[in-house]
Chain A
Amino acid sequence: MSDSPTRGGMPPALVPGVLIALLGTIVTVALDTVLLWWAALIIGVVLAFAAVILVDRRMPHVRRAGAAGTKEEGTALHNTLVVPTALVLSVVSGLLLAWFLDLSLIEPVAAALGALVGSAAAFLLHRRLSAMLALSFAAVFAAGIIAIAVTALVLFFSGIAPGATFARMIEYGSRPNSLVQIINDGTTYYLAAVAVAIGFKMKLFNIGVDGQYRLAALMAAAVGGWLVLPPVLSQIVIILVAVAVGGAWAGIAGYLKVTRGVSEVISTIMLNAIATGITAYLLNTDRLAVEISTNNIGTPPLPEGSWVPGIPALFLGSEREIFGLVFLAIAVGIGYAVMLNRTRFGFELRATGQSQSAAEASGVNVKKMVFLSMLFSGMVAGLVGMPQLLGSSHFYALDFPTGIGFIGIAIALLGRNHPVGIAFAAVFWAFLNQAAGILPFDGIPQEIAVIAQATIVLTVVVVYEVVHRWGRRYQQQQIGKELGTTVAEPAEATVPAGTASDSGDATGDDTPGNDRGGEAK
């Protein structure tokens, strides 16, 4: 529901946007000579935002209503929430971009580009950010603050200085090598979370992503290791094997649910255990495995022609390489978004998730949808191990990462099953994991990151739900106001017996809240 359905982007309306973006950039560049780059950038973007507000006041006809469609400008909610959220978002986006570019570009250019993007974001957000979307951002901010506060409290009571710990984590987490690691981990997490999210959209809990990707990775590695194929074809075959195995493994759960009514939660948990057993059985030197080193066995290493080359991360200032399959994750994300929002299948998926009975009455074959979404979820799950297999380890051994399926569940929850939300959540999760790596050196327990992760998942889920409900009520209220809730009552009816009280001007049955009251009949 957060996709903005407006089509107000006429070229003339964009002219002030371009001017404002230039204004923000020029101010930033000018101030950069006397101030630190980030201070200059903040001032530049804030000025641009102020200019946006001024311009939009002048041209009320161009301003649009929120995605919810109600008239939002001028309402209390808009002034207190949407405008500040838009401001914060545009400054943060500018700062983050500038910081990121600063790793590979010289500082003035990075700051200027950051300011340009920040100012453009100010223009777009002020016009387009709907109250509902702003509420979502506000919810995530609030949840983040609560989670940080809880973590800080835990640290404090453990006798560790919270401020210093956080500073250390941010410092270590933003080192070039850490960034590469975060992107690589995030890629894997993202795939796992998309796999989970496909199920979630249907109200299906695919707990079995973990087993699906492990089994898929093992099979794919075995095929790639034993069957030597020419480059390109080899990678394609390996990935297809993984997709097929993951899909088949999840498909078992889908088939059981459709034909036997077995809860997918139970069956996927069981299938996880079975996958562990099968993996252990097959990963034996008598069967698929060979000796990799003295105390490790795994599938035969892939020939170099079957690898997916990494992307040198020199632009981040790091010697290490980013998984080449990061593009696969991006493609999966785009595919997921397009499938969900643009295709009939996605529509039926969302409809079934929202109301199975309505979907059925509308001719959606719910059983087919359950099976297919389990299958697709498993197919994406099969991809989870691929970046690691093809980009880094090149064989499936005893030390292949495990547990990513469960991380995927948390990330899907955190990202609200939204393709972009999941991306942020995956990167954030990877950042916490990576940044916590420095803590043991300072004598601080590394588990602090786990506490932060758990708290943030809980708070995001709770806060988001609360805010979402409140927002929905607010929306109904706005619509009620806009349409007018009172209906003029015609003349008083005659009363045959007993006493009549005055009927006055009544609100009627023509109102949402009331309809709920009467809906029980």
Chain B
Amino acid sequence: MSSTPSGDGGQAPPAVELRGITKRFPGVVANHDIDISVAPGTVHAIVGENGAGKSTLMKTLYGMHRPDEGTIHVNGVQVRFNSPSDAIRNGIGMVHQHFMLADNLTVLENVVLGAERLHGIGSKARAEILRLSGQYGLGADPDRLMEDLGVGDRQRVEILKVLYRGARTIILDEPTAVLVPQEVDELFDNLRELKSEGLTVIFISHKLDEVLSVADEITVIRRGTTVATADPRTTTARELATLMVGGELPVPELRESTVTDEVVLSLDGVTVRSAEGRAVVDGVTLDIHKGEIVGIAGVEGNGQSELIEAVMGMRPIASGAIRLGADDVTGWHTLKIREAGVGYIPEDRHRHGVLLESSLWENRILGHQTKPPSVRGPWIDKTGARTDAERIVAEYDVRTPNIDVIADALSGGNQQKFIIGREMSGSPRFLVAAHPTRGVDVGAQSAIWEQLREARAAGLAVLLISADLDELIGMSDTLHVILRGRLVAQADPATVTPEQLGSAMTGAGLDGDGGTDSTEGDSGDDTADRNGGGNE
């Protein structure tokens, strides 16, 4: 296996080289003509939009499926992987985005699980774990129970697992998505440690600033193929973004303010506690007016999901009140809230938005199963639901042969367009839009933005949650920053930059100019005139 010394790798063969990789799924080409060369002893980032084919590529490299064309070389030798164990044998390990750890086992037990042959399960294994942990600065305690560890520690255990199996090249799939900023820094320190010990890291991400800070080389993937290799020292985030989406980045922007005085949704000191009693949403006070889009910016996992679930009545709130128009909807059931005119574009459409195995017209009924045209009393109105599904398909440009196909047969973007069409029907007063353009192609993205703009002009109030800062800045009338469940700052979307927003999201506050006020839980009544300044 690799005995490549650390260093520039100028002469050594690439640790991993992918040549002309093409992977087809039935009817779809997920990857084609991928060429990547990863120098040993480096951190190599692979960036691309959601759905650009990064994960498919890494599954190919990790032996989870075989490429239809192309070759994989490890340290200059061509290899064929039939399973992940082949990849591990060749020194390639993968840390998945979702940890694969048993909570009720100790660190030691988790690490040796499935690799008992290497060093047994006793003192030899313990010694090896301590050695690896010391060598790479992972700071693992073999006897801690997994359930006592935080997310960052768990991730280090995952890395340890991979190292224990003899990996010299480690693939990290979106490792920062679950981490808070400090943990991200710690992770990056670990990665630099690994690199200095001569290991190679392949780092998959779509967060450009992170990539620029940690990577030695960046490969950009767009629409299933490699489009560029960039040097992080000479590239800016904007240039990378342009490469990622193919140059014609649709710009999210609002034309003129449609914000009115009429409050549609009002949160007053809403607090949500996790099962352990921690406040995951902490005293959020917020007003959303008719014709206003209120954006919430924040690093994933800072209470956004819990906030929208509380608004939708899917999660009980510990204290505070939610008012919808004149009604106090605190504690209302989801169905009642929906019936009161609330639309919901969930962040995870497969979990919350569609029935994958049901036809489109049946999916039209989902979430609207008490209202015409889907139902008549206790009966399903098949004709009505079908007619309205046809309307959504036509109006929202859902690309599908007809409305009898199951939702799973559609692409993510078309599923999303269908969901948006469904949630907009019955003219809701208020819409919760969580990551409305996540995993959606560029064309659908601009269509979705246009739908939101039109609905806003017609008086819809929108709560917008997104990880895409440009989308937030461009689409919001008012912008709040959420950190550890608290609204820590309010920014003016007309003047704030993604960089300022990013630093506020990590708790550094909104520095620089930009006409922002760092308020805590300010209700933002003055947004109307502030927004009158007009966006570009």
Choice from B27, B33, B346, B361 contacting A478 with Cβ under 8 Å: B27
Could you say which residues of chain B place their CB within 8 Å of the CB of A506? Answer: 32, 222-225
Could you say which residues of chain B place their CB within 8 Å of the CB of A519? Answer: 350, 412, 439
Could you say which residues of chain A place their CB within 8 Å of the CB of B413? Answer: 509-510, 515
List A346-378 residues whose CB lies under 8 Å from chain B. Answer: 346-348, 350-351, 354-355, 357-358, 360-365
Smallest CB separation, B178 vs chain A (Å): 11
Which residue of the partner chain A has the closest CB to B217? A498
Are the C-beta atoms of A473 and B370 separated by less than 8 Å?
no
A500 and B236 CA atoms in complex are apart in Å by 16
A310 and B234 CA atoms in complex are apart in Å by 90
A504 close to B (CB within 8 Å): yes
List B74-129 residues whose CB lies under 8 Å from chain A. Answer: 96-98
Which residue of the partner chain B has the closest CB to A357? B351
Are the C-beta atoms of A515 and B405 separated by less than 8 Å?
no
A1 close to B (CB within 8 Å): yes
Smallest CB separation, B338 vs chain A (Å): 5
Q: Given A354-B358, A361-B334, A499-B229 in contact, is the A512-B409 Cβ separation under 8 Å?
A: yes
B189 close to A (CB within 8 Å): no
Are the C-beta atoms of A361 and B353 separated by less than 8 Å?
yes
A499 and B230 CA atoms in complex are apart in Å by 7
Are the C-beta atoms of B401 and A509 separated by less than 8 Å?
no
Are the C-beta atoms of B27 and A493 separated by less than 8 Å?
no
Are the C-beta atoms of B30 and A514 separated by less than 8 Å?
yes
B378 close to A (CB within 8 Å): yes
Are the C-beta atoms of B380 and A365 separated by less than 8 Å?
no
Are the C-beta atoms of B367 and A361 separated by less than 8 Å?
yes
A476 and B399 CA atoms in complex are apart in Å by 13
List B336-374 residues whose CB lies under 8 Å from chain A. Answer: 336-339, 344, 346, 350-359, 361-362, 365-367, 369-370
List B234-270 residues whose CB lies under 8 Å from chain A. Answer: 234-236, 239, 242-243, 246-248
A446 close to B (CB within 8 Å): no
Q: Given A350-B358, A493-B243, A496-B239 in contact, is the A512-B225 Cβ separation under 8 Å?
A: no
Are the C-beta atoms of B444 and A510 separated by less than 8 Å?
yes
List A467-481 residues whose CB lies under 8 Å from chain B. Answer: 472-481
Smallest CB separation, A288 vs chain B (Å): 39
A276 close to B (CB within 8 Å): no
Are the C-beta atoms of B399 and A355 separated by less than 8 Å?
no
The interface centre, meaning the residue of A348, A358, A476 with most chain B CB atoms within 10 A of its CB, is A358
Which residue of the partner chain A has the closest CB to B337? A363
List B455-483 residues whose CB lies under 8 Å from chain A. Answer: none
Smallest CB separation, B46 vs chain A (Å): 13
B56 close to A (CB within 8 Å): yes
Choice from B96, B223, B312, B344 contacting A489 with Cβ under 8 Å: B223
Could you say which residues of chain B place their CB within 8 Å of the CB of A498? Answer: 217-218, 228-231
Are the C-beta atoms of B247 and A491 separated by less than 8 Å?
yes
Interface residue total, chain A, C-beta cutoff 8 A: 73
Are the C-beta atoms of B354 and A358 separated by less than 8 Å?
yes
A351 and B96 CA atoms in complex are apart in Å by 30
Are the C-beta atoms of A483 and B223 separated by less than 8 Å?
no
Could you say which residues of chain A place their CB within 8 Å of the CB of B402? Answer: 65, 69
Are the C-beta atoms of A345 and B378 separated by less than 8 Å?
yes
Could you say which residues of chain A place their CB within 8 Å of the CB of B440? Answer: 509
Are the C-beta atoms of B405 and A511 separated by less than 8 Å?
no
Are the C-beta atoms of A69 and B50 separated by less than 8 Å?
no
List A58-81 residues whose CB lies under 8 Å from chain B. Answer: 65, 67-71
A285 close to B (CB within 8 Å): no
A501 close to B (CB within 8 Å): yes
Q: Given A347-B362, A361-B312, A495-B243 in contact, is the A5-B404 Cβ separation under 8 Å?
A: yes
Smallest CB separation, A495 vs chain B (Å): 5
Q: Mark A454-468, 1 if CB is under 8 A from B, else 0.
A: 000000000000000
Which of A248-256, A295-303, A336-344 lies at the interface?
A336-344
A497 close to B (CB within 8 Å): yes
Are the C-beta atoms of B50 and A509 separated by less than 8 Å?
yes
A520 close to B (CB within 8 Å): yes
Are the C-beta atoms of B229 and A1 separated by less than 8 Å?
no
A260 close to B (CB within 8 Å): no
A443 close to B (CB within 8 Å): no
Could you say which residues of chain A place their CB within 8 Å of the CB of B28? Answer: 480, 485, 507, 511-514
A478 and B379 CA atoms in complex are apart in Å by 33
Could you say which residues of chain B place their CB within 8 Å of the CB of A70? Answer: 401, 405
Are the C-beta atoms of A487 and B223 separated by less than 8 Å?
yes
Are the C-beta atoms of B230 and A358 separated by less than 8 Å?
no
Are the C-beta atoms of A344 and B380 separated by less than 8 Å?
yes
Could you say which residues of chain A place their CB within 8 Å of the CB of B312? Answer: 361
A508 and B225 CA atoms in complex are apart in Å by 9
Are the C-beta atoms of B379 and A358 separated by less than 8 Å?
no
Are the C-beta atoms of B228 and A342 separated by less than 8 Å?
no
Are the C-beta atoms of A509 and B367 separated by less than 8 Å?
no
Smallest CB separation, B405 vs chain A (Å): 5
Are the C-beta atoms of B380 and A520 separated by less than 8 Å?
no
Are the C-beta atoms of A517 and B356 separated by less than 8 Å?
no
Q: Given A495-B243, A509-B51, A520-B98 in contact, is the A365-B223 Cβ separation under 8 Å?
A: no
List B187-235 residues whose CB lies under 8 Å from chain A. Answer: 206, 217-218, 222-231, 234-235
Smallest CB separation, B217 vs chain A (Å): 8
A452 and B246 CA atoms in complex are apart in Å by 60
Q: Given A479-B409, A520-B98 in contact, is the A364-B335 Cβ separation under 8 Å?
A: yes
A11 close to B (CB within 8 Å): no
The interface centre, meaning the residue of B338, B351, B366, B380 with most chain A CB atoms within 10 A of its CB, is B366
Q: Given A480-B26, A490-B247, A514-B30 in contact, is the A503-B227 Cβ separation under 8 Å?
A: yes
Are the C-beta atoms of B246 and A490 separated by less than 8 Å?
yes
B306 close to A (CB within 8 Å): no
Are the C-beta atoms of A351 and B439 separated by less than 8 Å?
no
Q: Given A501-B227, A509-B223, A517-B55 in contact, is the A1-B405 Cβ separation under 8 Å?
A: no
A509 and B411 CA atoms in complex are apart in Å by 8
A341 and B378 CA atoms in complex are apart in Å by 12
Are the C-beta atoms of B26 and A474 separated by less than 8 Å?
yes
Q: List 17 A-B contacts (CB under 8 A).
A: A5-B382, A65-B401, A68-B405, A344-B378, A345-B378, A347-B365, A472-B408, A473-B26, A479-B400, A489-B223, A489-B246, A496-B230, A496-B239, A501-B35, A503-B246, A511-B30, A514-B51
| Pairs A-B, 3 closest by C-beta atoms | A480-B27, A513-B25, A363-B335
Given contacts A501-B35, A503-B246, could you give 4 more A-B pairs where the C-beta distance is less than 8 Å? A342-B379, A344-B370, A495-B227, A503-B225
